[in-house]
Amino acid sequence: MAKTLSKRLLAYLPTLTTVGGDHDGQPFQVLDWERDFIDGAFAPGVGEAALSVARGNGKSAVVAGIASAVADPEGPLHGNRREVICVASSFTQGRVIFEDCLAMLREKTGLDAGDWRLQDSQNVATIEHRESRARIRCIGSDPRKAHGHRPALVVCDEPAQWDWAKADKMVAALRTGLGKVPGSRLIALGTRPVGVDHWFARALEQADYSQVHAAPDDCDPFDPEAIRAANPSYDHLPTLRERLATEARDAKRDPMALAAWRALRLNQGVGDTLESMLLDAATWRDAEGEADTDDFAVWGVDLGGSVAMSALASYWPDTGRLDGFAAFPEVPDLADRGMADGVGSLYADMAKRGELVIAGRRTTDLEAFLRIGLERYGAPVAVACDRYRVDELMDAMDAADFPECEIVERGQGYRDGAQDVRDFQRAVLDGRCVPVRSLLLRSAMAEARTVVDTAGNAKLAKKSEGGRRSRAKDDAVAAAILAVAVGSRMAVADPGPQWIDVRA
């Protein structure tokens, strides 16, 4: 008796090699939950299938393995001119799938140029078998680029992360293409969206086959059984267990971390963003204290535009001490600024404590600002700043005869900003950051908010994002995040590729 399509796919996947993670270089091992999904999604008569599972359970490997089965001549989904389209929230995310497929197929087939055609550019990512013209195409969720295809299989990765305004148009375009090929399928995999009107939420309810791994909404969020319910790869992935244990500790200590824990680790439903404070007031007060300084300091600098506040934070990784100050130009005066920003005498009170200084007449004198930092804290080994203000900072450093040091350029989006926020929060929660008792830092922390995307990446909110007050002055926290995050990474053996030496 001939094997069903799902059985042939299950037999094919172990011929691939796992890429990255705990089992890098080992044959692909199909777990029970993955077997259940493949049996259901590739059963006869199934045109659409949906899978929802918590983040970090190896879903991406399943996506890459299924896609490879289309292009590989030995794959059970292979056929002349058959195409699988892998759709992610952006082309950059789609490239992650592309690179996994590339690695799996290179390990299995060698991807000899005579047999394969690869397109790998800023906006095209395809792997095509020359003889059959079967191909893998990876794209972002832009409906303008979804027309004109005739896929045999569409794999939608993390639909909850797609641009909400375009998601319905995107899936409609994909479904139209599928209608051109008999026996074609659409498979959607990811964490649950928060809205029942999201197309992926509807698919989880209405698809021909659906499989959801999630903790009950009313469960104890730290119940081991609830965690296992949402994380079916728990026993198979040591790194996942370690990460869950770390994030559970954070969620227990910091109420703001609990929302991301429920949404992404328990898969209880997540929207486009989760809004929260950076750290709650009690956590910050508990962290405050006294610690020594030494000759190994890392600065974070947040430069304000024209009349705005500029802030400098100094962090000593070996002792944990965090200190800082901010600066305004002379005009308008602190009383008028306080009234305009709705904080009364706060700026004047900070100035009396020496935490706020005046530098410049109508714009902040950055040379004087940096000289004050040198007088207070000595020369740092590194200065971290927003990459878009680095030239301005370096001009001021040259004018101030600043000692040679490393310059660390950091972006403020989810990519760099999320890593910095995460490292900052961890340092505070683990006791590796001991902020001085500062009115400036306390008030900035009270104003600071984060926005968290559906992949769990939190960055510092700007303007009125995340419930942030539009006139909030959280510049000192922005500087502190840079100093502590970069300093924490410097304290370990490998500081990572973010270091750019432009002054040594």
**Tens-digit pLDDT profile for residues 6-22:** 999 999 999 999 988 88
Query: In angstroms, rounded to a whole number, what is the distance separating the alpha carbons of residues 125 and 203?
Result: 27
225-250 burial, b for 16+ CB within 10 Å, e for fewer?
A: ebbebbbbbbebbeebbeebeebbeb
The pTM of the whole model exceeds 0.85: no
Q: Which residue has the higher pLDDT, 60 or 492?
A: 60
Q: In this predicted structure, what is the pLDDT of residue 467?
A: 61
Is pLDDT at 275 greater than 60 in this prediction?
Answer: no
Indicate the range of 92-96, 230-234, 303-307, 389-393 predicted with least confidence: 303-307
Q: In this predicted structure, what is the pLDDT of residue 469?
A: 73
Could you report how far apart the first and last alpha carbons of the chain are, in Å? 71
From 419, 307, 318, select the one nearest 363 (Cα to Cα): 307
Question: Is the CATH number 3.40.50.300 carried by domain 5-212?
Answer: yes
The enclosing H or E element of 136 equals strand 135-140
Indicate the range of 262-266, 355-359, 478-482 predicted with least confidence: 262-266
Q: In this predicted structure, what is the pLDDT of residue 503?
A: 34
Instruction: Identify whether the C-beta of residue 414 lies closer than 8 Å to the C-beta of residue 474.
Output: no
Indicate the range of 29-38, 40-49, 171-180, 286-295 predicted with least confidence: 171-180
Q: How confident is the model at residue 500 (pLDDT cuts 50, 70, 90)?
A: very low
The enclosing H or E element of 444 equals helix 439-447
CATH class of 281-490: alpha beta
Q: Across all residues in the chain, what is the average pLDDT?
A: 89
Q: In this predicted structure, what is the pLDDT of residue 502?
A: 38
Q: In this predicted structure, what is the pLDDT of residue 496?
A: 42
Q: In this predicted structure, what is the pLDDT of residue 19?
A: 87
Q: In this predicted structure, what is the pLDDT of residue 271?
A: 39
Torsional sign, CA 53, 248, 490, 475: positive
Q: How many other CB atoms are there within 10 angstroms of residue 380's CB atom?
A: 26
Is pLDDT at 400 greater than 50 in this prediction?
Answer: yes
Same fold, 5-212 and 281-490: no
Q: How confident is the model at residue 274 (pLDDT cuts 50, 70, 90)?
A: very low
Query: In angstroms, rounded to a whole number, what is the distance separating the alpha carbons of residues 438 and 280?
Result: 16
Q: How confident is the model at residue 306 (pLDDT cuts 50, 70, 90)?
A: low
Q: Per-domain residue ranges for the chain?
A: 5-212, 224-259, 281-490
Is pLDDT at 497 greater than 80 in this prediction?
Answer: no
Q: In this predicted structure, what is the pLDDT of residue 49?
A: 96
Percentage of the chain modeled with pLDDT above 90? 66
pLDDT average, residue stretch 231-240:
96
Is pLDDT at 178 greater than 90 in this prediction?
Answer: no
Q: In this predicted structure, what is the pLDDT of residue 290?
A: 95
Residues 6+ apart with CB under 8 A from 349: 439
Q: How confident is the model at residue 468 (pLDDT cuts 50, 70, 90)?
A: low
For 18-70, what is each residue's pLDDT tens digit? Answer: 988 889 999 999 999 999 999 999 999 999 999 999 999 999 899 999 999 99
From 151, 177, 140, select the one nearest 70 (Cα to Cα): 151
Is pLDDT at 501 greater than 60 in this prediction?
Answer: no
For 314-370, what is each residue's pLDDT tens digit? Answer: 999 999 999 999 999 999 999 999 888 877 788 999 999 999 999 999 999 999 999
Phi, psi of 403 (to 5 degrees): -60, 155
